[in-house]
Every structure is written in C-alpha cells, then in structure tokens.
C-alpha cells in the first residue's frame, strides 16, 4: 500500500516525533555491531581467543550457519535443555524460561506475556489499549509504534521472547480473546501483524505469533476439534501467520490448545510441517502454548520444537525417545536449530541483555502514546443531529456501569497487566469540562438515581461494559447484568443520551433507536478518561473504524448454530467456510447493525474519480508484487480537519465461488476542510487468486473482477470492472 501525499496526518507526525525522539532506539542489528563478541571485562587477548574458540560468534556468518556450527558443539543434554521450559522459574517474573548454557555462551530465554502491556504481574509498565482498539485505527504506522512500545518495555524488563501478538482471525464474536486480536479479516490482520511484529522485534525481543491455528474458543479449548476445509484454512485463517513469517520474520509461532481436523495443534503434521515449513519456509521455532503439548514422539516428529512451560514430554521422555530411535537425532537437531536461528538473527548472542524485571519500563512518552492510541482507536458509531462533539457549556451526567466501581480498561487472562494508573471517564471528563459543577455522576446501580442524574443534565453519558477474558467465552452478545435496562431508563429520562461501550467485541444494542449517540471505546488502557474526553469534546476528531461486524441479533452471526460453535461432542464445524465476518453478512444478504469498516467522523468525506490500471511491469515478482493500481480522490466536505479510511474491496468472478467482496487495501488519509488528496493503493497477485485444494496451492485466476472503493464494507460508492489477464 502506498499513499501519495496522504500520509502526513497529525497522527503520523506525532508518531514520527515519538519514533525519532523516544522510540527510535538502536535496532538489534545496530546493537550487534557495537556489542563485544565476548565479555568486555576480559582483556583483548582473551576476547580474540574466545572468538576463535566460539566460531558461532562470528557475526559475518548467517544465522543458519552460526546455528549449525554451534549445534555440532552441543551435547545431548544441552540440546534437550533448549527444547523445553523449566519450572519453577529461577528468575522472578517471567512466565517461561529456558536456562542459559554458559559453556557455549547461549543466553537464557526469558519469556513474558504482553498484548497491551508487559504482563505476568510486571509493575511500572504502560497499559496500552487492547489490540482490538489499536487495530481500529486502521493505521499500520500506529500498529508499528504499538509494537515498538511493547517491545521496548519487554526489553527493559529483561524479556527476550515477547509472547504476542495474537493474530487469529476472529470467527466467533463471543470468543473470550477477541479483544486480544485485530479483527475478522485475514488481510487486515496480516497488515497489523506484520507491523506489530516488526515493531516488537526492532526493540530487541523475539516476537511470537499466536495462537496457531483455529483458536476460536475458550470454553472447551483443551479438547475442541475445529473441522475446517483446506481452502478455508488457507484463505481465512492462515494469511496472518503467513504474513507474520514471510514479511514480519517472526521468530516464534505458538501452537494452540485446540485440535484442527483431528490433531492437536502442537502435534499437527499438516499445520506444523506441510504448512509452516514446506509452504511458508518458516525457519524459527514452534513453541507450545502453556500445557498444549500432548505427546513426545508425535509432537517432536510432527513439528513441535519447544514445550512450554515445563518438560513433561520434552525432558527425559524426549531424551529416551532419541535414545530408542523413536525420535531421530536429526529431528532433535532440527528442533534446536529452529530455536537457535532466530536467536542469532535477533542478536541475542551478540548484545548484552541489561534489562531486569524490577526495572521501570515507563516513560512520559509511552503514557502519551497510550492516550494517542486510545483516541485513534475509538469508533464513533452513531451521532444523531451532530450532538457530538459536546458543547463546552453543556451540563453532563456521567453514569457508570451498574455495580462496577472501576472502568473496564483491559481484557483478562494472560494479557492482563498492572496499569500504573487509570484515568477514569469521570476524572477525564471533569478535567476537560473545566467547571466541575457541569459534571454530575451516578454509578448506575440505582436506575432511579441514574435517571434523575440524566434528567438534570443536558447530556447523559452512559458507560457500559463487558468483562472479557481468556479462559471463558461470553455466553451471548448481550451487555451483561442490567446494563440494557440502565440505558433504557436513562434514555427515557434524559434529553439526549450517549452510550460509551467498553467491550472487547460486538454487543447487541436493543436500545439503539432511543439513544442519540454510541461510541465503541473498547478496552482503552490507562488513559481511558483523557481519551474519551478528547473524543467527546472534539479535541480529537474520531477516525476509527470497526475491524469486526456488529450484528443486529444473535441469530445473524455466521456461527449461530451449536454445531459450528461451541460445537457438539467436542467438534466445531466450520461450515460457514469462507463466509467469516462481513463475508457472511454479504453473501447471505443480511444487514448487520454496524458493518465491518464502519465508523463516523465529526466531518464528512467524499470519494471520487476511481481509476484502476495494471501495475507497470518491472515490479518485483511473487505474491506481494502489485498487479493492479487503484487511484481515487478523497475530499473533506465538512468543516473540521479529519481522517478517512479508504477501503478497497475485490469481487471475484462468480466462477471462483468467493464471498461477494473482500478487503484487499486500505489507507488512512488526513484532510483539512475542503482539501482533496489522491490516494493510490496497490492490489497484489493474491487479490486475484484463490486457493485450489486439488493442487494444494494458490492459483492466479484471470477474469473479470469488481474493484470497489468506499468507507466501510457496506458503503462502497465507487466501483469498476476490470479484466485481469
Ligand atoms: C495463553 C498464552 C500465554 C500463556 C502464558 C496461555 O494460557 O494461551 O497466550 O502466552 O498462557 O501465560
């Protein structure tokens, strides 16, 4: 994707400033140049001798070559050490640990969770918004910076393997880990995954793409078997992992708890060998999710490299299996090599790790970044009669979710983190409103009190939430407790009601017609109140877009049948096939509540002059090379500066039997009132290909395609038919 004269928004300038001044830390490669090959405390003679004795420390050799040289020096026990974690963990903090092998200068691996912040109870970290909020900005530059902040904080904490990001395509809106992921579109998730992984790895740690694959439920995640056809697997669920490997150069992939087509992810030969190694040429390591290893010989022979967090299967049992020949020496060598190659590539042998779990990773710049991400990820869903932004003089009743004393700023489970502080919506709004007498508060547990607060104010702001967490799925898509009743009571009493959602995924909105405004603020992290106040009062013009469809009813969703989800007798049938997310609504001609890609602004935009033309020859070949170039104009037709996300969808020839149209490019364009910019985007060869299960490969398909441009999956005013040869 390339934007002509369109990537100069305030957001990007802010990012540039952050990157250069604060986050533009030396890359591992740069570190590698300056780090000594052996301990600097030794004399020069010792350094030379050590370097000669440790030829794998020669940085001019490739990571693969260095790994092979080192492998030859390793004993069986040392090899076994590399392929499992240890429990208890000898160093405080980390959730996974592989001990160092000092004899050979192999550093320890220190693994920590972190999707929105360094997790595992770490203190003095920055709690960023949930990944689903960050991705809602539809801005890969922001996602890259998100990765850099996370990677930087992990590195300062002494982590050299950062467990994240979660890049699974969200199939099931009730999935308890929806908030950890980016959304429901494979291509969208791919772009976000590449940006975040590159960001994390630029700061030192190896990133970990998880969870591989078909991880779509928590309820029965230790047993569930996802039955999914090869084409769907390849076209929908695999692309983010393919991009993470091929473009993001991710060092590790975490295999999931679930089974895919009968075999546990962590011993699934098709997924681990045929796909990861043969098809995608992955040269890093596959680590198991915590306790997701189920066997020794099958797991090792089918492609698992490292058991986490301990050694139930890959300790003595693996050693015995190698001794008995059940697992060959070359399989074990392959496992160890897969761990070593990314360690070398990432510079873990070459740069000293100076971080520690007790160090503070925080900075004022990271706090500011957390706020910016929350602002740019907040989606304005409804704004009747321009009620928002709030007038400075308006009196406001802030009404909190019933029974909750704290705002919901993060999701739970392994991605949960210790926020250093949380600015509540009430605090943020009071601060922004200036005059405290203009802002009243009711906690929402007493409907009458909430209604009376609403009655006495010009505008009522109702904050409602879901509690989403790893380990359990939502039972349904409704707001839990009596939050719907709260909204109804406030809407009935008050003059104008705005609902602010703090959820990790879609919710149903039976009250939608009775309220004037709706904002999806997701789990916004530590800067919650400041960010929502900036949106409400118009200091920031919302520009975020939904990365997931919001259904009108539970019956509408693509996985509404029990056999599909959570499954029957431990099996879930992916019978919706390619029709995941908006593809389902489009192919079944169902109008969702809010479509994928949707989000309002305080200004308005017009798209015009769509041109589609073949890319000029001479571009690099391969799947990523541009095939067609799309150009169009975007005009800000309103009175405020704002940004619009231009989205390009591709419709295949009917014979291909693809969903009606699929996202293949997007760009965020920042515009002054009245300004027009020309955006140009590239469509790659994959945009015109389908996966052919008979050939077990992608096939480029010539034919007549529809190219659609617009501002959501359901608002595509411009289109062109093109013949692709
Ligand atoms: C989660 C992983 C996490 C691991 C370690 C597992 O339950 O699925 O995402 O990295 O725990 O905390």
pLDDT at 41 over 60: no
In angstroms, rounded to a whole number, what is the distance separating the alpha carbons of residues 35 and 38?
Answer: 8
Cis peptide upstream of residue 211 (ω within 30 degrees of 0): yes
208 lines ligand 1 (CB under 6 A): no
Measure 365 CA to ligand 1 centroid, in angstroms.
Answer: 28
- Residue 406 pLDDT class (50, 70, 90 cuts): confident
Selection from 386, 437, 409, 449 nearest residue 601 by Cα:
386
pLDDT in the model for residue 48: 53
User: Please, what's the b/e burial string for 12-24 (b: 16 or more CB within 10 A of its CB; e: otherwise)?
Assistant: bebbeebbeebbe
Measure 393 CA to ligand 1 centroid, in angstroms.
Answer: 48
Give burial (CB, 10 Å; 0-12/13-18/19+) of 622: exposed
pLDDT of 204-230, one tens digit each? 999 999 999 999 999 999 999 999 999
In angstroms, rounded to a whole number, what is the distance separating the alpha carbons of residues 120 and 351?
Answer: 25
pLDDT of 307-351, one tens digit each? 999 999 999 999 999 999 999 999 999 999 999 999 999 999 998
pLDDT in the model for residue 21: 39
pLDDT in the model for residue 140: 98
| Closest Cα to atom 4 of ligand 1 | 290
Quick check: is 113 catalytic? no
- Residue 402 pLDDT class (50, 70, 90 cuts): confident
Measure 411 CA to ligand 1 centroid, in angstroms.
Answer: 14
More confident residue, 493 or 2: 493
Determine the number of helices (DSSP H) and then strands (DSSP E) in the chain: 20, 25
Mutate to test the pocket of ligand 1, among 289, 309, 469 (most ligand atoms within 8 A of CB): 289
290 lines ligand 1 (CB under 6 A): yes
For 274-280, which contacts have Cβ atoms below 8 Å and span 24 or more sequence positions?
275/238, 276/212, 276/241, 276/245, 276/303, 277/303, 280/241, 280/242, 280/245, 280/246
- Contact in structure between 567 and 220 (CB atoms under 8 Å): yes
Measure 93 CA to ligand 1 centroid, in angstroms.
Answer: 14
pLDDT at 616 over 90: no
Selection from 274, 275, 264, 284 nearest residue 238 by Cα:
275
> Model's pTM, two decimal places?
0.94
Atom of ligand 1 nearest to the CA of 210: 9
Strands 379-383 and 517-520: antiparallel
Atom of ligand 1 nearest to the CA of 113: 10
pLDDT of 71-107, one tens digit each? 999 999 999 999 999 999 999 999 999 999 999 999 9
In angstroms, rounded to a whole number, what is the distance separating the alpha carbons of residues 17 and 186?
Answer: 31
In angstroms, rounded to a whole number, what is the distance separating the alpha carbons of residues 286 and 347?
Answer: 19
pLDDT at 23 over 50: no
511 lines ligand 1 (CB under 6 A): no
């Amino acid at each position: 994707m390339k934007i002509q004269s369109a990537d100069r928004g305030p957001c990007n300038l802010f990012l540039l400033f952050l990157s250069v001044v604060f986050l533009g830390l030396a890359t591992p490669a740069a570190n590698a140049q300056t780090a000594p090959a052996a301990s600097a405390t030794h004399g020069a003679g010792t350094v030379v001798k050590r370097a000669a004795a440790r030829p794998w420390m020669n940085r001019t050799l490739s990571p693969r070559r260095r790994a092979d040289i080192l492998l030859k020096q390793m004993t069986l026990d040392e090899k076994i050490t590399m392929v499992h974690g240890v429990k208890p963990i000898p160093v405080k903090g980390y959730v996974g640990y592989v001990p160092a092998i000092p004899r050979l200068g192999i550093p320890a691996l220190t693994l920590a969770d972190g999707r929105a912040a360094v997790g595992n109870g770490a203190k003095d970290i920055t709690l960023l918004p949930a990944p689903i909020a960050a991705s809602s900005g539809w801005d890969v530059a922001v996602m890259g910076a998100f990765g850099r902040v996370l990677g930087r904080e992990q590195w300062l904490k002494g982590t050299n393997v950062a467990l994240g990001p979660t890049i699974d395509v969200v199939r099931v809106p009730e999935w308890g880990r929806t908030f950890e992921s980016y959304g429901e579109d494979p291509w969208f998730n791919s772009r976000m995954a590449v940006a975040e992984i590159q960001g994390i790895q630029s700061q030192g740690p190896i990133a970990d793409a998880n969870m591989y694959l078909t991880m779509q439920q928590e309820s029965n995640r230790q047993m569930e078997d996802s039955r999914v056809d090869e084409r769907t697997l390849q076209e929908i669920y695999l692309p983010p992992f393919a991009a993470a490997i091929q473009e993001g150069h991710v060092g590790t992939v975490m295999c999931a708890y679930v089974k895919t087509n009968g075999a546990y992810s962590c011993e699934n030969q098709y997924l681990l060998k045929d796909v990861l190694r043969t098809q995608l040429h992955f040269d890093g390591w596959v680590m198991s999710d915590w306790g997701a290893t189920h066997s020794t010989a099958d797991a090792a022979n089918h492609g698992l490299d490292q058991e986490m967090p301990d050694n139930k299967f890959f300790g003595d049992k693996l050693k015995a299996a190698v001794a008995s020949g059940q697992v060959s020496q070359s399989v074990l060598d392959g496992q160890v090599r897969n761990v070593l190659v990314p360690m070398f590539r990432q510079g873990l042998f070459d740069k000293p790790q100076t971080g520690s779990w007790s160090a503070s990773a925080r900075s004022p710049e990271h706090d500011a970044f957390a706020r910016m991400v929350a602002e740019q990820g907040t989606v304005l869903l409804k704004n009747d009669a321009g009620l928002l932004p709030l007038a400075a003089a308006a009196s406001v009743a802030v009404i909190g979710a019933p029974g909750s004393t704290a705002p919901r700023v993060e999701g739970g489970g392994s991605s949960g983190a210790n926020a250093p502080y949380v600015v509540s919506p009430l605090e943020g709004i009071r601060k922004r409103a200036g005059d405290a007498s203009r802002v009243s508060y009711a906690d929402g547990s007493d409907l009458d009190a909430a209604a009376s607060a609403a009655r006495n104010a010009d505008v009522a702001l109702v904050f409602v939430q879901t509690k989403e967490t790893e380990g359990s799925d939502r039972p349904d898509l409704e707001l839990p407790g009596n939050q719907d009743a709260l909204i109804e009571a406030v809407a009935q009493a008050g003059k104008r009601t705005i609902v602010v959602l703090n959820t990790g995924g879609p919710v149903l909105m039976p009250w939608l017609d009775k309220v004037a405004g709706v904002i999806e603020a997701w789990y916004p992290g530590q800067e919650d109140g400041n960010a929502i106040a900036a949106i409400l009062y118009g200091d920031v013009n919302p520009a975020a877009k939904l990365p997931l469809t919001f259904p009108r009813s539970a019956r509408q969703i693509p996985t509404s049948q029990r056999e599909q989800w959570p499954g029957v007798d431990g099996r879930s049938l992916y019978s919706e096939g390619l029709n995941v997310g908006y593809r389902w609504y489009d192919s079944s001609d169902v109008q969702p509540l809010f479509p994928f890609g949707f989000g309002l602004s305080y200004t308005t935009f017009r798209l015009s002059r769509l041109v589609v033309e073949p890319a000029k020859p001479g571009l690099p070949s391969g799947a990523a090379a541009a095939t067609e170039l799309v150009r169009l104009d975007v005009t800000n037709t309103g009175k405020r500066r704002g940004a619009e996300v231009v989205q390009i969808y591709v419709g295949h020839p009917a014979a291909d039997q693809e969903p009606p149209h699929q996202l293949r490019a997007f760009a965020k364009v920042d515009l002054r009132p009245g300004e027009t910019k020309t955006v140009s985007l590239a469509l790659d060869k994959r945009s015109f290909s389908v996966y052919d299960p008979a050939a077990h490969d992608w096939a480029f398909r010539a034919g007549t395609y529809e190219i659609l441009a617009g501002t959501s999956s359901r608002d595509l005013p411009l289109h062109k038919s093109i013949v692709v040869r």
